[in-house]
């Protein structure tokens, strides 16, 4: 379960505090998928940073599986984020010198021991890139790179996957392919999936849809 209760986020400015999120609330059970839309500057990426335990709220609480990550010691917080949260960004953020398999395995480098290589291979196969396992990012198309990024986000079996404009840099046909892949993997792996997007097509592909307006989420 992911919960956000009365989340406020403010940033200091010369004119005083700038409030981006204003008493925002969200509750999503395990296995649920939701999309969040809103104009540029409405706070979507700020919200993802809080939900992903990258940045604390000014006030309010966020918990994942009943645990508030911002109460943890910095080392524990880093471990929590690495093992429980997966991120997919608009820019795939692959390391150019690493192969597909090596890129997918990156989160496992600071994770407890396990058969991560086997899971990484399985995920690469699930995203349709079994024949690209040892290719470098420069040898892949934009859609293939994004599929690698999705596999990387899932390699440690996170409870929450946050996607920030995952199809924003893709053409329509490739975006549709990546959307179908995300939904298929969500169904297989039963994590909480949140899609931040400007795409109505992507937003409408999941059962729960929100609009972020005036610092709060409104169900569409």
Residue-averaged pLDDT of the chain: 94
Q: Which pLDDT does position 112 carry in this prediction?
A: 76
Q: List the domain range (segments joined by +) for residue 55.
A: 2-219
Tell me the pLDDT band of 169, cut-offs 50, 70 and 90: confident
- Give, rounded to a whole angstrom, the gap between the first and last alpha carbons of the chain: 21
Q: Which pLDDT does position 90 carry in this prediction?
A: 84
Q: Which pLDDT does position 114 carry in this prediction?
A: 73
Per-residue pLDDT of 18-45, as tens digits, reads 999 999 999 999 999 999 999 988 999 9
- 92 touches 36 (CB < 8 A): no
Q: Which pLDDT does position 53 carry in this prediction?
A: 96
Question: Structural domain tally of the chain?
Answer: 1
CATH number at residue 193: 3.40.50.300
Choose among 189, 194, 188: nearest CA to 207: 194
Q: Which pLDDT does position 111 carry in this prediction?
A: 74
Lowest mean pLDDT among 1-10, 83-92, 105-114: 105-114
pTM tops 0.85: yes
Q: Which pLDDT does position 220 carry in this prediction?
A: 83
Residues 155 and 66: their CA atoms lie apart, in Å, by 22
pLDDT > 80? residue 157: yes
Q: What is the mean pLDDT of residues 109-116?
A: 80
List the alpha helices (DSSP H) in the chain.
44-51, 74-84, 100-105, 116-126, 142-154, 172-189, 200-203
């Amino acid at each position: 379960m992911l919960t956000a209760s009365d989340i406020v986020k403010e940033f200091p400015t010369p004119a005083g505090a700038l409030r981006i999120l204003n008493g925002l609330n969200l509750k999503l059970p395990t296995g649920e998928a939701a999309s969040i839309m809103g104009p540029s500057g409405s706070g979507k990426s700020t919200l993802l940073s809080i939900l992903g335990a990258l940045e604390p709220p000014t006030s309010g609480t966020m918990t994942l599986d009943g645990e508030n990550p911002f109460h943890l010691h910095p080392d524990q917080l880093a471990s929590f984020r690495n093992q429980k949260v997966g991120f997919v960004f608009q820019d795939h953020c692959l390391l150019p010198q690493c192969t597909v398999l090596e890129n997918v395995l990156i989160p496992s480098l600071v994770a407890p021991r396990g058969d991560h290589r086997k899971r990484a291979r399985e995920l690469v196969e699930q995203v349709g890139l079994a024949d690209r396992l040892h290719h470098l990012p420069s040898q892949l198309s934009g859609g293939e790179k994004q599929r690698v990024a999705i596999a990387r986000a899932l390699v440690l079996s996170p409870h929450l996957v946050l996607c920030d404009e995952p199809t924003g840099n893709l053409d329509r046909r490739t975006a549709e392919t990546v959307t179908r892949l995300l939904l298929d993997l969500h169904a297989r792996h039963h994590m909480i999936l949140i899609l931040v997007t400007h795409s109505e097509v992507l937003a409408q592909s999941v059962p729960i849809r929100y609009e972020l307006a005036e610092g709060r989420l409104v169900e569409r």
